[in-house]
Amino acid sequence: MKTREEALLFGLSFPDTYQDAPFHDDNWQLVRLKKNRKAFLWTYERNGHMCINVKTDPRWRDFWRSTYAAVVPGYHQNKEHWNTVILDESVPDEEIRRMIAESYDLVRK
């Protein structure tokens, strides 16, 4: 997964979700749950790279960060509960999808 469109399309494949641009800045595109309006996927370009932010269980946070150099503490978010994934093709697509799915599950609760 290397593009915003791929990430957004996958995020929007979950039930009862919608895309939002709350900052009136096209660089920041989010996917939220309709029921509680909580975002589980943030997409933005930073330092020439497309990035996503996903919510993570603190028990898994350090696993992801230590396994992949492209997974770092959440940019502009709570570092305990959010990770940033730099979409530089170093993280396998199935792992990115897993992180997005886990983020969806966490905000759906």
CATH number for the domain spanning 99: value is: 3.90.1150.30
pLDDT at residue 47 in the model: 93
For the chain, the domain total comes to 1
What pLDDT digit, counting tens, does each position of 42-77 carry? 999 999 999 999 999 999 999 999 999 999 999 999
pLDDT at residue 109 in the model: 81
CA–CA gap between residue 71 and residue 85 (Å, rounded): 5
Q: Which residue segment(s) compose the domain that 46 sits in?
A: 4-108
Q: Give pTM, 2 decimals.
A: 0.95
pLDDT at residue 75 in the model: 94
Question: Does residue 91 register a pLDDT over 90?
Answer: yes
For 23-29, the CB contacts below 8 A with 24+ separation are 29/4
Question: Does residue 11 register a pLDDT over 90?
Answer: yes
pLDDT at residue 77 in the model: 93
pLDDT at residue 1 in the model: 86
